[in-house]
Amino acid sequence: MDQSSEKELEKYILNQVQWESLPSHAKLILDQSHTKYKQYVLKYSIKHQLRWDTSLISCFVTDERLYYQEIVRLSVANLVLYPYHISDKLVPMLNVTPFKYYLIMMIETMTNSKSYDELPNFTAVDCLRVLEIGRNQFIDLMNKCRSKGNLFKKKKDVIRGLLPQKSLEKNIDYWWIIKYGHPNQDEERNLSSQELEIIDDLKKSNGQGRQAGVFQREAVLSLVSKGLVYIDVPIQNSDVVSVPPLEGFVMNRVLGDYFESLLYKIFVSIDERTTVQKLSEVLQINVELVKQAVSLYIRLGFAKKKNLEPLITNVVVQPQPQPQSPRQQPSNNSESPNIVLETSPAPITPTTAAASKWNQSWITYYQDKQEDSPFLNTNNLPKNMTNDNNELNIVDQTENESSGGTMLNSDESTLMGEEQKRIGFVFDSSITAFLMMGNLGYGLKNHAVTMFEVGKLANEALEDFLKELDKINADEFVDSEAKLYATNAISLRDTIRHLRSRYVIGGQLQGLDLLSCERMNSLDEATRIRVLKKNYSVLISMAPLSTDNTPVITAIPPNFGPPIYEVHSFWFRMYLYHMIGKGPKSILFPKGTRLRKIPQVFKDCEKIFVCSIDHDPITVNLSQLLPTANETLLSSPLLLQAYSFIKYESIPKISKFQSHSRSNSVVSTQKDDQVIFNVAFPTHLEIDHDSTCLNEEEYNEENISNHPLIQKIQEVFNLKHSFGYISLLKKELYSYPSHPYQQTGSASSLFQKTIEFVPLNIYFGIPIFDDKLNRQVCEKIDKYNLLSQENLAQHSRNCRNLSLNLFHFISSTCPPIHPDLDAIDSTKINSTFPSVQNIPLPTQTISFINGIIDL
């Protein structure tokens, strides 16, 4: 059964369509078999953990208890998260609490000697929360199990004795709902008076439960550990949540089951400006599924609910004298209003009707934790107030501007609501890799995990991220690789500050979100377009993105990155050389080609540039070209390019000497000289025409931007409305003079060197890997006002023309990419191109030699 047929049947199952009402084409999918329909309904319902009483499965399975038992059995076997959304059935009916569920799962995993890495990420996190068993604890338990004698005990009994005997869940918030669980008369006889009062109250609630905050906190935790009550995290359609940097996330693997995939899909889309209902509409997912996901994020500590009822609301305004800061001027000798809490040295006791219902133990608990918890209701307070030592003081507006921040305080952002859009900075996994592995500081790891797992670091979390990045000192690192990681992190920090603090788009200063291209591309195309259109006014990519990562492609918002997938591939290199008429000697081989000998055009090369479709380019020595190329061609097309040259001489009398000089003088010279030069664009307004007459040998890193080739590339590709950098390859050709025996001096003097600069590639976006180049690109964004509304429109127009021209070029070498390519309107800059599932692959060998494309 194909995917489209499965989706068709799923639609009828969710709409509870009986067999008799199924359309004829749906029955044909099932071979006209009522039994097959029943089996499919059962399989789908168990896999998606549908409720028995509100789904079609109740028509096929009459025993509700048996149905839920099967869900538990298969969920444990497949290491699936505890189904919290049906806990009101699993706990009272089957006495299966999260603790018992994960206890069984852990026993089975350890009994069968499975690796801890087999637990999916979210399942592993929930096990850690309920059982306090993480990777290290798991390994320790397995070692203890092996060390104990199993002569008279079963292995499963030994493991059971090592595991916790009761739930260790402690992170419960005051607004969560506690409900009465499975009756247990023996346990209830041994309860304290406080615990008995809670049980009696819950029994009277008719299954609705009570908020945990109205009871004594320790009594609630005790009942949870004994399994007599269970927890529900209530989520409403109007709720708004935020995702702070992840703590305690377990990075194992993504299982791929439907709910784990849904969790990641919602993770990258959620933000604290969008309600649950609106998020459901943007993602086009049932709102109940979104609630389940959000509830789980909060339960695991990965998200926080924003619109909470405060613990304390007794706030009054009292006049208090204010010490003037040096920059404040006296104003008519009047006293500034000062807002204080009605507190005393004793613990805070709520006095208002709204706050009196909360138990004092919860207020004390949050005070001890010193978290950003909703003690205080500040919804109606005047603007520009900060809390300092339990006093809310009026401050100068400039004090609300965080360093390098958005200069919009949280109140203003809230008032703007969903209309406030941001800049999206697109990164790939290479950034999270060097943040996690670069030994740059422990505080960065939580942010790196968030960027990798959530796929986004929101503007609200950037201040703390920047503080951690500020602690990096590249001079402290001696190892070259570690120093490179540190330099890259500093460039990322400077880029974030630059983008957050300067750009006004649509009359508003923009916030900034960091977006993972991998996570954004995990969304289906229509959903991705809706998410980006709703939240962002412009996208900016890091440059270059890794070749094995697909860039985020969108027409709305405008995108300063690769405009289409093909620009991020070897096709664009060939198109660049074709349009400019210059480039390194290049041959593009289709997948499956076998090279029996080195192509003749590379015979004078020292090193070759090897570019595949799914890996970053590498350089290989000519001697290693054949095995490297043939291995890659088994799975990918391959572009080979001349990188560095050496002239071979066949005169017998000097061949031995030449071989010696080639391995010493020439190679060492190439190691010392810079081969690739990167030039930030646009540069056309800075060119001094007097300097364009320099010889090729006179160009260096300081004046290479004045090279005529840079000007030509900018004109041909109309780069003045975009930003990024152009890579030039410095070709150094070595040859013997016409009379080599007449030469005297060192061995290197036997060679005549010819220098030529040729284009290598164009990269769109802001580079992170080079701090100097990073500053140059950022300066050009400012200098030419490239994020203005006028420039955004022109940039989008240029990107569309570039994409269409590239499509035509590719179609001239292989079957057309789009059947209706000629009918695509180039003026519709706000519309996306017809979807292409994969980058088109070459069907024949294509070469670029001596300035000409040859098929």
Please list the helix, strand and coil fractions of the chain in percent, rounded to the nearest 5, in that order. Answer: 45, 15, 40
Instruction: Choose the final residue of a domain: 148, 167, 186.
Output: 167
pLDDT grade for 456, boundaries at 50, 70 and 90:
very high
Query: Between residues 640 and 435, which one has the greater pLDDT?
Result: 640
Helix (H) or strand (E) holding 641: strand 638-645
Specify whether 354 is located in the same domain as 454. Answer: no
Per-residue confidence (pLDDT) for residue 435, from 0 to 100: 87
pLDDT grade for 401, boundaries at 50, 70 and 90:
very low
Q: Is the pLDDT of residue 826 over 80?
A: no
Mean pLDDT of 821-836: 73
Residue 196 lies in a domain: no
Q: Give the tens place of pLDDT for each residue, 137-149.
A: 999 998 888 776 5
Residue 260 lies in a domain: no
Specify whether 480 is located in the same domain as 442. Answer: yes
The residues, any chain, with a CB within 8 Å of residue 361's CB and separated by 6 or more, are 216, 217, 218
Per-residue confidence (pLDDT) for residue 207, from 0 to 100: 85
Highest mean predicted confidence (pLDDT) among 177-191, 710-724, 827-841: 710-724
Which residues on adjacent β-strands are paired with residue 645? 605
pLDDT grade for 290, boundaries at 50, 70 and 90:
very high
pLDDT grade for 731, boundaries at 50, 70 and 90:
confident
Residue 798 CA to residue 776 CA, distance in Å, equals 22
- Would the pTM count as exceeding 0.85? no
Per-residue confidence (pLDDT) for residue 798, from 0 to 100: 94
Per-residue confidence (pLDDT) for residue 368, from 0 to 100: 79
Residue listed under structure tokens 């909470």: 308
Mean pLDDT of 223-243: 93
Mean pLDDT of 276-303: 93
Q: What angle do CA 125, 448, 773 make, to 5 degrees?
A: 165
- Ranking 152-156, 191-195, 268-272, 348-352 by mean pLDDT, the lowest is 348-352
- Ranking 195-199, 294-298, 550-554, 627-631 by mean pLDDT, the lowest is 550-554
Residue listed under structure tokens 């990322």: 492
Specify whether 414 is located in the same domain as 519. Answer: yes
Residue 179 lies in a domain: no
Q: Is the pLDDT of residue 755 over 60?
A: yes
The residues, any chain, with a CB within 8 Å of residue 673's CB and separated by 6 or more, are 730, 732
pLDDT grade for 373, boundaries at 50, 70 and 90:
low
Mean pLDDT of 734-742: 57
Per-residue confidence (pLDDT) for residue 699, from 0 to 100: 84
Q: Give the tens place of pLDDT for each residue, 415-428.
A: 334 457 899 999 99
CA dihedral 93, 97, 98, 104 (to 10 degrees): -90
Q: Is the dihedral of CA 317, 322, 327, 330 positive or negative?
A: positive
Residues in the chain, overall count = 855
Specify whether 384 is located in the same domain as 499. Answer: no
Q: What does 384-426 look like in DSSP terms, one character per residue?
A: SEEEETTEEEE--GGGGS-TTS-S--HHHHHHHGGG--EEEEE
Residue 42 CA to residue 57 CA, distance in Å, equals 6
Q: Give the tens place of pLDDT for each residue, 498-521.
A: 998 777 666 666 789 999 999 999
Mean pLDDT of 590-612: 92
Q: How far is CA 814 from CA 371, 451, 564, 590, 810, in A?
A: 61, 38, 18, 11, 6
| Cα-to-chain-centroid distance, residue 315 | 41
Q: Is the pLDDT of residue 136 over 80?
A: yes
Specify whether 159 is located in the same domain as 11. Answer: yes
Residue 589 lies in a domain: no
Residue 220 lies in a domain: no
Q: How far is CA 662 from CA 207, 733, 749, 797, in A?
A: 85, 13, 12, 50
Mean pLDDT of 91-95: 93
Instruction: Choose the final residue of a domain: 567, 586, 617.
Output: 567
The residues, any chain, with a CB within 8 Å of residue 328's CB and separated by 6 or more, are 396
Highest mean predicted confidence (pLDDT) among 99-103, 313-317, 334-338: 99-103
Specify whether 39 is located in the same domain as 58. Answer: yes
pLDDT grade for 309, boundaries at 50, 70 and 90:
confident
Residue 21 lies in a domain: yes
- Residue 466, burial from CB neighbour count under 10 angstroms (0-12, 13-18, 19+): buried
Per-residue confidence (pLDDT) for residue 641, from 0 to 100: 94
Asked whether 644 and 732 are in contact (CB, 8 A), the reply is yes
Residue 489 lies in a domain: yes
Specify whether 489 is located in the same domain as 351. Answer: no
User: Into how many domains does the chain fold?
Assistant: 3
pLDDT grade for 821, boundaries at 50, 70 and 90:
confident
pLDDT grade for 741, boundaries at 50, 70 and 90:
low
Specify whether 39 is located in the same domain as 99. Answer: yes
Residue 432 lies in a domain: yes
Helix (H) or strand (E) holding 177: strand 177-180
Domain that holds residue 386: 315-321+336-400
Specify whether 143 is located in the same domain as 14. Answer: yes
The residues, any chain, with a CB within 8 Å of residue 556's CB and separated by 6 or more, are 529, 532, 533, 830
Mean pLDDT of 479-490: 84
Specify whether 456 is located in the same domain as 532. Answer: yes
Residue listed under structure tokens 């004795």: 161
Specify whether 396 is located in the same domain as 440. Answer: no
pLDDT grade for 319, boundaries at 50, 70 and 90:
very low
Residue 639 CA to residue 143 CA, distance in Å, equals 51
pLDDT grade for 355, boundaries at 50, 70 and 90:
very low
Specify whether 393 is located in the same domain as 534. Answer: no
Residue 494 CA to residue 827 CA, distance in Å, equals 36
Instruction: Choose the final residue of a domain: 101, 135, 167.
Output: 167
Average pLDDT, the chain: 81
pLDDT grade for 718, boundaries at 50, 70 and 90:
very high
